[in-house]
Amino acid sequence: MMIQTNQEIQEIQKLILNLKKEKDVTILAHYYQTLEIQEIADFVGDSLELSKIARDHTNTKNIIFAGVLFMAETASILNPVKRVLMPDKQAGCPLASFLNGDTLKIYKDKYPGVPVVVYVNSTAETKAEADVVCTSSNAIKVIQGIQKEYNSKKVLFGPDKNLADHVRLNTNIEIINLPDVGFCYVHNDINKSDAIRAKNDYPNAAVAVHPECKREVRKLADFIGSTKGMYDYVKENPSIVNEFIIGTEIGFVQRLQKDFPNNKIYPMTENFICKDMKRTNLKKILNLLNNLDNDNNIVNVPNSISVKARISLEKMLKYS
């Protein structure tokens, strides 16, 4: 990877800011993007926030999504009249690849009448086969809501086994993993020993982790929540010494360090890096803006899938 100087970064940022105005573009960036990308975005957020923004607050003809494919697909499904583009369409989410529409149909046949909830980190095709979508912010609320609506003791949920376990521990609902094993390699790779090491290094710090972490890590946390949840936790509940250990992707840790300079914010480990999120960079965004008429970077979801997936997504937005 080519290292750029601060001056080079600022020059590219300036070009991007001018071009996005000129070409009627909104840039949405996930918290796991690099800070230099977050700085040129119109909106930065987690999956749920960006889904809502894509639906309600984008007035431009074009949306550039700095994130991974399922996020851009979601923006496109919720905004069928907009052009949604990605700077690098190869940026996927390995967690989403654990579950496809055909596997989901097999589970539906095996468990007739059991409602199906899929995590937003899933393909458009998978969302289209589900009854409702959820994010890490609203998983408990959505699963409780659908269970009540279907009057079912069980709920099928996938593809993240750790988020499923988190919901299971916080409700009385029987959650069936869909498929048996699915996980985010970034969060699942973090072990109890990483959490203990960080706690020993910073004994006064409060620990906040993402629910995609394993149970052994979640058990050692003071707070478990989505990135938005962790952001609010740092904002509203500073520990006595204002120190926090954050158990999620490094881009989000850098964002917290920037927004809360009076607090000490530590990553649980330096290895918390999503290589897929990091495929996007400023040069690719600039290149896309310079070639906006080229359709290669458009994210298209076929209408037959989009219509069904929108119903599952709109249902989530209603519950959350």
Site of interaction with ligand SF4 (CB under 6 A) = 32, 68, 93-95, 121, 184-186, 249, 274, 276-277
Nearer CB in complex with ligand SF4: 20/157? 157
Buried b (16+ CB within 10 A) or exposed e, 142-168: bbbbbbeeeebeebbbbbbbbbbbbbb
Dihedral angle sign, alpha carbons of residues 154, 158, 160, 163: negative
Residue 67 or 145: the one with the smaller Cβ distance to ligand SF4 is 67
Identify which of residues 274 and 289 has a Cβ nearer to ligand SF4 in the complex. Answer: 274
Nearer to ligand SF4, 72 or 289 (CB): 72
Q: How far is the CB of 121 from ligand SF4 (least distance, A)?
A: 5
Least distance between ligand SF4 and beta carbon 248 (Å): 8
* Greatest alpha-carbon span in the chain: 59
Question: Token pair for residue 73?
Answer: 């697909």
Other Cβ atoms less than 10 A from the Cβ of 170: the count is: 14
- Shortest Cβ 95–ligand SF4 spacing (Å): 4
Closest contact distance (angstroms) between CB of 212 and ligand SF4 is 6
| Rounded distance between C-alpha atoms, residue 172 and residue 152, angstroms | 12
Nearer to ligand SF4, 68 or 206 (CB): 68
Using N-to-C axis directions, what is the helix angle for 139-150 and 161-170, rounded to 10°? 70
CB of 168 to ligand SF4, least distance (A): 19
| Rounded Cα–Cα distance for residues 305 and 210 (Å) | 30
Q: What token pair was written down for 100?
A: 């496809």
